[in-house]
Structure 1
């Protein structure tokens, strides 16, 4: 009989990410049922003072075309708007609308809830150690 191996760290991190992301996405869907998981790539990588589409796509590791479709969708839903870039009037900046700001607050509230739940599960010291460890992993790769 073959020995079973524990799951790889990458698989565990991914599964943990998916479960934690579901909590935030559920809050988003409660706020607006039209919010899709793919929209999180936009919300996560936006810069509050505005961002060009090419930079947003680069940060999310997506093609500009794929990111453009998500931005179009969120613009249609009233979360984003395109405005002239003051540094280059030919270019457009993507920025949050008031509705987008409200959706961010909903997301941050859900994230705060996840952090409280993690602190209850791991203890404050355990959560601090998890943050430090994940920071070291991020810095190393």
Structure 2
């Protein structure tokens, strides 16, 4: 009989991420059922003062073509707009619209709720320790 091993930490982190993302996605879907999980790559990596598509794709580790399709979706849904970049009129900046700002507020409220639930599960000290540990992982890798 083969020995069973506990799940790898990477698998656990990924599964935890998926479960927590589902909570945030449910809040987004309650606001607008057209917002898909893939759109989170845009919302997460946007810069409020505006960002070029190439930079947004780079931050999300996606091709510009794939990111462009997501931006097109969100522009069509009224969350984003493209404007000429003042630093280079040939380039475009992607900005949030008022609807995009409202969606961000809903997302942040959902994230705050996730953190409240985590604090209830882990305790305030446990949540602080988790935050510290995850921050160390991010810096190391």
* TM-score scaled by length of structure 2: 1.00
Question: Which residue in the other structure is 2:23 paired with?
Answer: 23
User: Which consecutive unaligned segments of at least 5 residues does structure 1 have?
Assistant: none
Q: Aligned equivalents of 2:135 and 2:41: distance in 1? A: 20
Q: Aligned equivalents of 1:137 and 1:37: distance in 2? A: 24
User: Which consecutive unaligned segments of at least 5 residues does structure 2 have?
Assistant: none
Aligned residues, how many?
A: 141
Question: Which residue in the other structure is 1:52 paired with?
Answer: 52
Deviation per CA, 1:91-125, whole angstroms, max 9, x where unpaired? 00000000000000000000000000000000000
Question: Which residue in the other structure is 1:66 paired with?
Answer: 66
Deviation at 1:10, TM superposition (A): 0.2
Question: Which residue in the other structure is 1:116 paired with?
Answer: 116
Deviation per CA, 1:15-74, whole angstroms, max 9, x where unpaired? 000000000000000000001000000000000000000000000000000000000000
Are residues 1:101 and 2:101 paired?
yes
**Regions of 4+ moved over 3 Å:** none
Question: Which residue in the other structure is 1:32 paired with?
Answer: 32
Are residues 1:76 and 2:73 paired?
no
Q: Secondary structure at the match of 2:22?
A: helix
Q: Aligned equivalents of 1:38 and 1:139: distance in 2? A: 25
Deviation at 1:138, TM superposition (A): 0.5
Question: Which residue in the other structure is 1:134 paired with?
Answer: 134
